Structure 1
Amino acid sequence: MSKQNQANVCIITISNVSYKKIFDKVNQSLTEKDVMINFVISDSEPDPLKLNKQILLKILLNVHSTAVITLLGRVVGNTMVFVNASNLKLIGRATYLIMTHVNDTITKEYWKKNFGETETITYEEANAVLFDAIEYLKKHPQQIGEVALSIIRILECLKKNSYISYEEAIRIIETEGLESYLLKHNPSLKP
């Protein structure tokens, strides 16, 4: 399927079989841009449940998914801000991200100097804005995450001391992106 979509293939194997044996079997279907990584784990240590192999594979898949999400621009600083808040754990994470990014921005000298002292938002306030954004995006589907939409709406409302519409927040996301927007309002985020 990935070949039909002109994507490259990465094969990751974790086994006690040498790379050569595995490579010879799949080499016919690989191109020069495809990658094959083989981690050989010795069977000298008892591991009846194969936990070492499973843990290594999970780590590798996490690294890969993090790299892809970063390349897609869904990371700000060291946080993955594109969270699909679809269960309680992810709603909690999304709420925390909103609260953290907003409070980090409004407590910095740049914000205070340009927009005045602003009271930090609570977890409950961030959560209420998140649920409002979730409802809006259900009715008006977009390729925009609830977290980014919530962060920009809150900061713009605090900055202008007035209501801003979802459409205005979406325009900001589409023209600037969340990371650029946050860097502009919180220069301390720069690496």
Structure 2
Amino acid sequence: MNTYTITEAEFNQLESVRGQLRLVGDLLSVPEGTRANFDAADLSDFLGAQETTVTSLMHAAESRFDQERDDALPAAFISTPEAGGLSPASLVELILAVSGDGIASERMLALSDQLLDLCAQDRAFAAVAQAFDSALERHGVTMAMSVQDGELTRTYVKAAAPAAAAPAAKRTRKRERLTVSVVS
């Protein structure tokens, strides 16, 4: 459920509309046998004006809600990939990676680099990068780093599945070990 903020002036306009609609309701509920003294065209104009007021207030509240929502998103996240944001395709790959679907190590490195670039733009993305690495670790994927000739190499590797344990030797039950000897 969304929360919409209205200004005091808008609230007063709504209060006025509510009062006017109550008045019209009271006028329409005249006792039987008496005649109401108003024209249908005037009533239609009045109701149309009230609808216009309410519609414009709702539009203003929805616009403010949309603006507040957009302001709450970090600028780096909603920017274009060329400006350092994540593209929809990258978001899909990110979701697939953390769900355990195998994607290429090079692609995971590219996603990790994009997250690190976002961290440089907005510290709030550090939590996203940590969650990404934690989710991969839960699926047995870790980043391996090595330095060769002064150059850092990073790759994501999936931990090997534990070797299957050899079947346990069959134990004989005590009853099976009992022997019967006949003494004469």
Specify the TM-score bucket, using the shorter chain as the normaliser. under 0.3
In the superposition, the TM-score normalised over structure 1's length comes to: 0.23
The structure number with the bigger radius of gyration is: 2
TM-score by length of 2: 0.24
Greater RCO structure (CA 8 Å; 6+ sep): 1
